[in-house]
Amino acid sequence: MLSIADALAEPWRLEFMQRALLATALASATASVVGCYVVLRGMAFLGDALPHAAFSGVAAAFLLGGNVYLGGAVAAALSSLLMGLLGRRGLLKHDTAVGVVLAMAFALGLLLASRRANYAVNLSSFIFGSPLAVSWGDIWAVAAIGGGVLALVALFWKELLVTTYDPAMAAALGIPVAMVEQGLMLAVALCAVVALKAVGIVLVMALLVVPAATAQLLARSLPAMMAMAVGVGLLSSLLGLYTAYYADVSPSASVVLTAAALFFLVLLGRRGPRLLLRRAPWTGR
Amino acid sequence: MSGVPALLVEDLWAGYDGHIALESVSFVIEEGCLAGLVGPNGSGKSTLLRAILGLHRPWRGLVLVFGRPADRRQMGYMPQVEVADWAMPITALDVALMGRYGRLGLLRRPGRRDREKAMEALDRVGMAHKARCRLQELSGGEQRRVLIARALAQEARLLLLDEPFAGLDAPAQHELLHLFQGLRGEGRTLLVATHDLTCVATHFDHAVFLNRRVVAFGPTGEVLNEDVLQKTFQRHLLLVREGGIYAEHS
Amino acid sequence: MRSSAISRGQAPLSYFVCLLMILGIISCRPGGGGDGLRVVATTPIIADLAQAVAGDRADVISLIPAGADPHTFEMEPSVIRQVAKARLILANGLGLEGHLMEGVMANKASDAILVVLGERLAPNATDPHLWLDPSMASGYVREIARALAEVDPEGAPFYQERERAFQERLQELDRFLWEQVAAVPSENRKLVATHAAFHWLAQRYGLREVGYLVTGPEEEPGAGTIATLRERILTEMVPAVFVEPQLEAEDRVLASLASELGLPVCTLYSDAFTKEVASYLAMMEFNGRELRRCLGGGR
């Protein structure tokens, strides 16, 4: 019978587990930071749409033998521009614009995938994640892109703060609001690329939203919220990978479910007694 | 006090999608005035303020602030409160500090001087002791004052405020009014959009009556009369004159 | 008011004429214009074996394209059309073709013959990759010849002759493979590959199946599975691991595991051809040489 210490240390003696943890941790740290803006601005749908849109670039990159990260980033960036354009001109509600572009891009990806000349390639690993198959090269790429995204967030901290909190005022202060919004969408797109191997396209949204939502319940300021979100993300990665190792189940799903479990724990801790015992008061609305 | 008016608007036309919101608007506000911008809902008050700030492109017209073309970073602005996000984890000081961003430009962080100015602004509105409080923990009136502190932190001589009294109870409104009068006393100029006619009639020294076009502008004592009110509010107003107080009724 | 070229009474008549014309066109079948017999095989490997027997008397088409993995291949409209037109359909069965089998059953012509080779030869087998054992491939070829003769009785002697010739080549192949394995030191005759496809090959030539990364390609290897496999590779002192060309994603996991342990990564063909290796005989010869080379039998 293994001692607790042995059980805790065992997975990390294996190189593929070390790589899986690094890739997932880097992806969730980046996504947690960007995710704070996604949650505060009510952009969760967008946070799902852009990764799906990235898929078309991934499929295209495979068909053309190009770099998957680059393909995904370009597709997501173009999609975000298109969404912004459609939503802004007042043609469509922003929500609708996002939905249309998401459907189109993802289906295009599926179409390209079905036409692939090289059948050896299995694109489902990008849809659902394959953290156990990441290489050191992947980890460098993730670290570089993730680092870039975080640097941009730090550089444009105050611009992001004002446009998130009060867009009307932001414009009055001379901040190019549309550009900042577009830049944020780009950051989300890059998060999708960063998390491509770790959790796959479908679950990127979870890494963006869940840790940040958990942090929002606890934090009193935006920097604190980001720090807590990163903490939740890293903890989920660690615990999720332990689960995947010992229960031999999908690592990406385990990480996301762990994050969700943490969210509900915190929610119950904060609001639990009130949620469960009191009926919702009649507000007269 | 120089002879240059704080705000000069001449023949301003603006609208959306072919609808005219402002038609040949012209008026002047002298420095050191507390002026009310009065009109019913949909009269174009917000559009006018935004056009002055340059947030909304007018079709034609001239806007001069202290004799120079308007630069929005030098006008204090308090937008309508509904558009801000109150769920955000942000302190009063953070909000006040935002007023300094206009001077910083891209990529620069607020420094110690900016922080000092923000604290001064909070102090001016009486919220310095709550600088570190989360916005959510403050009352409606206190939040409003923090927003004004933000406008003050911009160190502007002209302040534009859009419906600052909306949703506040009477005591809170009075507090704000008192603050405005204090600011005027310091030599600042305030243009306050509001549909609270009574308040304007009683406490403001100048008024601009707007209903797509300027019905009248000038010192309240001179322009406030039944004819002007009828033209501004049309069927919105039921005149009840009792001791000089007018009531709006739609 | 526009004047119409066709008066009211004549409109229904013109529609009817159009309908007749369309029906006429549809009913004209692009007929038995082809030279040979239309034979369809589910996998390229079966197609290759069938073509070897059928010679130029039949056109053998593979439903699954070269290089694709039969376990996970999804039906496409063009594929379904081929199924419907075929007079003889050759399949492997035993779970190899996945969803494709349903599609074949549903869309084959009522008078077409379907021969499920794997089920005929080893009805209870768990590993469907029978052909990797040349003695089983021999059975495939025999059944193929029989089926061809049934569908095309005139060509029976032709098919028999070709079958006989191919059986000789299979025997040569079998000898060759024995030689290759014999050259490998017995303690090295251990097999680790990407997916569980080599039971029949291992059984025939006395290789020990140490472990596979996944049972079937549609699976995702879990962390525990990978760890267990790693453990086994170490304790059994496996000299090399083998990846398969059509399973790139899973191959990467196995390859990175091997590189961590400092083991060479070699290739074995199982379910699919590549551009370089495009026939059954070529594939098996390659496998033989690769096993010898990588397990320490020298060149």
pLDDT digits (tens, 9 = 90+) for C128-151: 999 999 999 999 999 999 999 999
Residue B145 lies in a domain: yes
Which residue would you say has higher pLDDT here, A271 or C253? C253
Task: Using the structure block, give the residue that is written with the tokens 């390209």.
Answer: A112
For residues C176 and B224, which has the higher predicted lDDT (pLDDT)? C176
A208 token code pair: 């963006």
pLDDT digits (tens, 9 = 90+) for A109-137: 888 877 755 454 567 778 888 888 888 88
Residues B186 and B235 in one domain: yes
**B7 and B127 belong to one structural domain:** no
The C-alpha atoms of residue A209 and residue A214 are separated, in whole angstroms, by 9
In a domain, B71, yes or no: no
Nearest to A248 among C68, C76, C223 (CB): C223
Task: Provide the edge-to-edge strand list for the sheet that holds B7-16.
Answer: B19-29, B7-16, B60-65, B68-69
Mean of per-residue pLDDT scores for chain A: 86
Interface size, chain A vs chain B, as Cβ–Cβ contacts under 8 Å: 81
Same domain membership, residue B187 and residue B242: yes
The CATH T-level fold of domain C37-176 is Rossmann fold (3.40.50)
Q: Which residues of A touch B55 (CB under 8 A)?
A: 168, 171-172
Residue C74 pLDDT exceeds 80:
no
Instruction: Out of B130, B156, B182, pick the residue that ends a domain.
Output: B156
Q: Are B214 and B138 found together in one domain? A: no
In a shared domain, residues B58 and B84: no
Chains B and A, touching by 3 or more CB pairs within 8 angstroms: yes
Residue C1 has pLDDT above 50, yes or no: no
Question: Is the same domain home to B57 and B165?
Answer: yes
For chain B, list the contacting chains (3+ Cβ pairs, <8 Å).
A
Q: Are residues B3 and B34 in the same domain?
A: yes
Beta bridge partners of B113: none
Residue finishing a domain among B106, B137, B156:
B156
Do residues B168 and B244 share a domain? yes
User: What's this model's pTM, rounded to 2 decimal places?
Assistant: 0.77
Task: Give the tens place of pLDDT for each residue, A18-49.
Answer: 999 999 999 999 999 999 999 998 888 888 89
Residues B119 and B166 in one domain: no
Domains of chain A from N-terminus onward: 4-268 (1.10.3470.10)
What is d(CA B153, CA B98) in angstroms, rounded to the nearest whole number? 8
Q: Closest Cα to residue C176, out of C92, C291, C24?
A: C291
CA contacts within 13 A on the Cβ side of C52: 24
> Do residues B13 and B49 share a domain?
yes
Cβ-contact C82, C40 below 8 angstroms = yes
Helix (H, G, I), strand (E, B) or coil at C204: helix
Say yes or no: B147 and B201 in one domain: no
Domain encompassing residue B172: 1-66+160-250
Q: What percent of chain A has pLDDT over 70?
A: 91
Q: How far apart are CA B173 and CA C100, in angstroms?
A: 75
Cβ within 8 Å, pair A120-C223: no
pLDDT over threshold 60, residue A3 = yes
Instruction: Among B106, B108, B136, pick the best mutation site for testing chain A contact (most A Cβ within 10 A).
Output: B106
Mutate to test the interface with A, among C220, C252, C277 (most CBs of A within 10 A): C220
* Final residue before a domain boundary, out of B105, B139, B156: B156
Q: Is A122 on the interface with C (CB under 8 A)?
A: yes
SS3 content of chain B, % helix, strand, coil (to 5): 40, 25, 35
Tell me the angle at which helices A136-155 and A177-194 cross, rounded to the nearest 10 degrees: 160
- Rounded to an integer, the average pLDDT of C93-109 is 86
Residues of chain C with CATH 3.40.50.1980: 37-176, 185-294
Q: pLDDT for A58-74, tens place per residue?
A: 888 888 888 888 898 89
Angle between helices A222-247 and A200-218 (to 10 degrees): 130
- Domain annotation covers residue B108: yes
Tens digit of each residue's pLDDT (9 = 90 or more) over C193-230: 999 999 999 999 999 999 999 988 777 788 889 999 99
Query: Which H, E and C letters describe chain A, residue by residue?
Result: CCCHHHHHHHHHHCHHHHHHHHHHHHHHHHHHHHHHHHHHCCCHHHHHHHHHHHHHHHHHHHHHCCCHHHHHHHHHHHHHHHHHHHHHCCCCCHHHHHHHHHHHHHHHHHHHHHCCCCCCCCCHHHHHCCHHHCCHHHHHHHHHHHHHHHHHHHHCHHHHHHHHHCHHHHHHCCCCHHHHHHHHHHHHHHHHHHCCCCCHHHHHHHHHHHHHHHHHHHCCCHHHHHHHHHHHHHHHHHHHHHHHHHHCCCHHHHHHHHHHHHHHHHHHHHHHHHHHHCCCCCCCC
CB-nearest partner of C253 from A17, A119, A132: A132
Residue type, B120: E
Q: Is C276 on the interface with A (CB under 8 A)?
A: no
Give the dihedral sign, CA B212/B213/B216/B220.
positive
Sheet containing strand B189-194, edge to edge, reads: B75-78, B158-162, B189-194, B34-38, B206-211, B213-219
Residues B172, B141, single domain; the answer is no
Q: Please calculate the CA angle C122-C124-C125 and round it to the nearest 5 degrees.
A: 70
Contact C245 A11 (CB under 8 A): no
Q: How many CB atoms lie within 10 A of CB A213?
A: 21
Which of A277 and B69 is assigned the larger pLDDT? Answer: B69
pLDDT attached to residue C209: 95
Which residue in the set A119, A135, A250 is minimally distant from C68, CB to CB?
A119
Residue C3: pLDDT band (50, 70, 90) is: very low
B110 contacts A220? CB cut-off 8 A: no
Confidence of residue C31 (pLDDT cuts 50, 70, 90): very low
The confidence band for C179, taking pLDDT boundaries of 50, 70 and 90, is very high
**What's the total number of domains in chain B?**
2
Please list the rounded mean pLDDT of every run of 10 residues in chain B (250 residues).
Answer: 82 88 92 91 89 89 89 82 70 90 81 91 90 84 88 90 86 88 91 88 91 90 85 66 50
A212 touches A34 (CB < 8 A): no
pLDDT for C245-278, tens place per residue? 988 888 988 998 998 899 999 999 999 999 899 9
Q: What percent of chain A has pLDDT over 90?
A: 38
Residue with tokens 């009840």: B240
pLDDT at B3: 76
Q: Lowest mean pLDDT: which of B227-241, C40-54, C127-141, C163-177?
A: B227-241
Chain B residues lying within 8 Å of A221, measured CB to CB: 89-91, 94, 134
Q: What is the pLDDT of residue B70?
A: 81
Q: Mean pLDDT of all residues in chain C?
A: 86
CA distance B118 to chain A (A): 15
Distance from CA of B5 to the nearest CA of A (A): 22
In a domain, B87, yes or no: yes
For residue A113, the model assigns a pLDDT of: 78
Which of C247, B95, B175 is CA-nearest to residue A130? C247
User: A134 to chain C, minimum CA–CA distance in Å?
Assistant: 8
| Residue-level pLDDT at B231 | 83
Fold of the CATH domain C185-294: Rossmann fold (3.40.50)
Location of structure tokens 């059953």 = C105
Residue B174's CATH number:
3.40.50.300
Give the list of residues 6+ apart from residue C258 with CB closer than 8 angstroms, or none: C240, C241, C264, C265
Q: Which residues contact C64 (CB under 8 A, 6 or more apart)?
A: C42, C43, C44, C70, C73, C97, C100
pLDDT value at residue B202? 87
Nearest to C230 by CA among A16, A244, A137: A16
Which residues of chain A lie closer than 8 angstroms to C65, CB-CB? Answer: 119
Give yes or no for A239 touching C (CB within 8 A): no
Using the predicted structure, report yes or no on whether residue C26 has a pLDDT greater than 80. no
How many residues make up chain B in this entry? Answer: 250
Residue C143 sits at φ, ψ, to 5 deg, of -65, -35
CB contact under 8 A, B101 and A225: no
